[in-house]
């Protein structure tokens, strides 16, 4: 048998790999989660749109009375909570964590609260999101259902078509390939060899070649499901980020605060390094110089100074020991600035850190791209601090550390089976880690119910 040319073999191999990747994408967790998100969104969008629209219209209509403005204010707070629910749903199913908007700042007294609620921009933006969500949900559910249902129906068409008995053509919506867009024509008047035969318009696909073509079309529709789902969820996530996330002004204020914290942290680090060098290393080097000076005097032939080679040797030995101690201090200071383990990459550095953990821990990594050095340093010190917290406070028997890349973000997760009840705030180490993450537009999430387990997740940009 004649072999195919090299170019044809490469083309065939590329097509085989592309088909395999498309098949895996169709049955992947991401596709199923996206499909579930689109399906769940439709009933939620209908109910929430009705609530937002009715409360808005009713509040506007009653605004001439003392009931209208309180109704608008209370419904605005409720709509804000619905927006929070949508952000959490997107985070649970799509793995996309959207930062919340600026928190609600109530004024003093009843009228102050009322004024703040009516002027709360996040509530009005949440109403706009619910208004846009309904058409997006209807379109998304329609397209996803069309791809899945019609794709499976067409893929299996040769089976149930060949098993159907002869007779008059069945007049069923799913048998019209064009009825998902417009109503097809009436079925043929005469009997068919197979009663359950698909048709386009008034033309029945009542032959094996046509059945195989329909099956191929169904396969292509199923392979297109992941891209349809991703396009729909991308549009929804863009709307969530734009209307349910922080505004540009609030992000600017947050970044200004983070920048000030970075400057303060850098200044305190420089002061610590200066203090360590002055009080530790510099004092050791001064003692070393004095010891070497004494040894030099014992080796010189000068009046009033005895020639004492054994004493000079002892002083040189002491100076050697002091030099090694000073070198170790310098290494410790340098290690606090940039860990040498990061020179070979964050994966290897974290693996070494986990291997040295006081609590038995496992490590998992999925980082296709290496982050910038600043992000690697923050992730490394965050993992070191979290593992130290596990050893000091959690009373855990096991821990797990994982690092991955998702949507252009680095996700560091530390989990332990300890007693839980960890809290942010109060000057704890977790507060410092959260501030360090916010300095590069990241965030820290903590889940630690009483009795455990505890999970800390640090989200960082891949490049900063």
Residue 158 inside a domain? The answer is no
Residues 378 and 321 in one domain: no
352-386: pLDDT as tens digits: 888 888 888 899 988 888 888 888 888 888 888 88
Residues 409 and 308 in one domain: no
With cut-offs at 50, 70 and 90, classify the pLDDT of residue 301.
low
239-298: pLDDT as tens digits: 988 888 877 666 666 666 666 665 666 666 666 666 666 666 666 677 767 777 777 776
Task: Return the pLDDT at 7.
Answer: 59
Report the CATH number at residue 391: 3.30.565.10
Residue 280 inside a domain? The answer is yes
Task: Return the pLDDT at 258.
Answer: 61
Classify 294 as helix, strand or coil: helix
Separation between Cα atoms, residue 314 and residue 321, nearest integer Å: 11
Residues 328 and 378 in one domain: no
Residues 285 and 369 in one domain: no
Q: Is the peptide bond before 350 cis (omega within 30 degrees of 0)?
A: no
Percent of the chain surpassing pLDDT 70: 70
420-441: pLDDT as tens digits: 888 876 555 787 788 788 777 7
Task: Return the pLDDT at 137.
Answer: 92
CB 92 within 8 A of CB 235: no
Q: For 309-326, what is the mean pLDDT? A: 72
Task: Return the pLDDT at 183.
Answer: 46
Residues 353 and 426 in one domain: yes
Residues 281 and 386 in one domain: no
Residues 268 and 287 in one domain: yes
Q: For 110-115, what is the mean pLDDT? A: 82
Highest mean pLDDT (candidates 128-142, 355-369, 387-401): 128-142
The residue among 312, 337, 362 that closes a domain is 337
Q: For 124-137, what is the mean pLDDT? A: 91
Burial class (CB in 10 A: 0-12, 13-18, 19+), 221: buried
Residue 60 inside a domain? The answer is no
Q: Residue 324 sits in which domain range?
A: 264-337
Residues 281 and 388 in one domain: no
Separation between Cα atoms, residue 270 and residue 276, nearest integer Å: 10
Residue 331 inside a domain? The answer is yes
Q: What is the pTM of this model?
A: 0.57
44-58: pLDDT as tens digits: 999 999 998 888 888
Residue 208 inside a domain? The answer is no
Residue 416 inside a domain? The answer is yes
CB 406 within 8 A of CB 442: no
Task: Average the pLDDT over each of 221-225, 317-321, 458-462 and give the range with the smallest value.
Answer: 317-321
Token digits of residue 360: 């038995």
Residues 329 and 417 in one domain: no
b/e for 287-319, b at 16 or more Cβ within 10 A? ebeebbebbebbeeeeeeeeeeeeebeebbebb
Classify 399 as helix, strand or coil: strand
The residue among 315, 337, 359 that closes a domain is 337
The residue among 273, 303, 337 that closes a domain is 337
Separation between Cα atoms, residue 74 and residue 78, nearest integer Å: 6
Q: Give the number of C-alpha atoms closer than 13 A to the C-alpha of residue 284, restricted to the C-beta side.
A: 17
Radius of gyration of the chain (CA): 34
Residue 357 inside a domain? The answer is yes
178-237: pLDDT as tens digits: 554 444 445 555 565 666 677 666 666 767 787 788 888 888 888 888 888 889 999 998
b/e for 353-380, b at 16 or more Cβ within 10 A? bbeebebebebeeebeeebeeebbbbbb
Total domains in the fold of the chain: 2
Task: Return the pLDDT at 248.
Answer: 67
Residues 441 and 364 in one domain: yes
Residues 277 and 326 in one domain: yes
């Amino acid at each position: 048998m004649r072999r195919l040319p090299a170019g044809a073999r490469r083309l065939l191999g590329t097509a085989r790999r592309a088909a395999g990747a498309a098949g895996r994408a169709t049955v992947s967790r991401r596709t199923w989660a996206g499909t579930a998100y689109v399906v769940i969104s439709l009933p939620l969008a209908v109910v929430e749109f009705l609530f937002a629209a009715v409360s808005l219209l009713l509040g506007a209509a009653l605004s001439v009375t003392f009931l209208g403005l309180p109704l608008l204010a209370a419904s605005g707070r409720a709509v804000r909570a619905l927006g929070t629910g949508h952000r959490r749903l997107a985070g649970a199913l799509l793995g996309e964590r959207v930062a919340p908007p600026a928190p609600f700042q109530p004024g003093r007294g009843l009228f102050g609260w009322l004024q703040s609620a009516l002027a709360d921009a996040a509530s009005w933006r949440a109403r706009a999101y619910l208004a846009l969500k309904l058409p997006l949900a209807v379109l998304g559910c329609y397209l996803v259902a069309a791809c899945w249902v019609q794709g499976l129906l067409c893929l299996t068409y040769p089976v149930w078509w060949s098993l159907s008995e002869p007779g008059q053509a069945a007049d069923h919506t799913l048998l019209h390939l064009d009825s998902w867009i417009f109503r097809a024509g009436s079925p043929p008047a005469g009997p068919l060899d197979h009663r359950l035969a698909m048709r386009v318009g008034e033309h029945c696909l009542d032959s094996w070649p046509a059945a195989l073509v329909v099956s191929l079309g169904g396969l292509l529709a199923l392979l297109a499901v992941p891209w349809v789902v991703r396009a729909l969820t991308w549009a929804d996530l863009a709307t969530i980020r734009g209307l349910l996330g922080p505004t540009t002004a609030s992000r600017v204020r947050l970044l200004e605060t983070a920048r000030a914290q970075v400057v303060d942290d850098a200044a305190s680090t420089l002061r610590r390094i200066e203090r360590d060098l002055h009080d530790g290393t510099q004092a050791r080097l001064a003692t070393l110089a004095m010891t070497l000076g004494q040894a030099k005097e014992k080796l010189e032939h000068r009046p009033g100074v005895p020639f004492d080679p054994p004493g000079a040797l002892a002083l040189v030995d002491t100076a050697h020991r002091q030099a090694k101690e000073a070198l170790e201090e310098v290494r410790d200071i340098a290690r606090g600035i940039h860990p040498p383990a990061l020179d070979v990459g964050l994966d290897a550095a974290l693996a070494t850190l986990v291997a040295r953990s006081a609590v038995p821990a496992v490590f998992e990594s999925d980082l296709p791209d290496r982050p910038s050095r600043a992000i690697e340093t923050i992730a490394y010190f965050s993992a070191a601090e979290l593992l130290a917290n596990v050893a000091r406070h959690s009373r855990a028997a096991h821990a797990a550390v994982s690092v991955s890349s998702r949507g252009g973000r680095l996700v560091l997760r530390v989990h332990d089976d300890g007693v839980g009840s960890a809290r942010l705030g109060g000057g704890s180490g977790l507060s410092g880690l959260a501030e360090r993450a916010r300095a590069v537009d990241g965030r820290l999430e903590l889940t630690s119910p009483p009795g455990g387990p505890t999970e800390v997740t640090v989200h960082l940009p891949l490049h900063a």
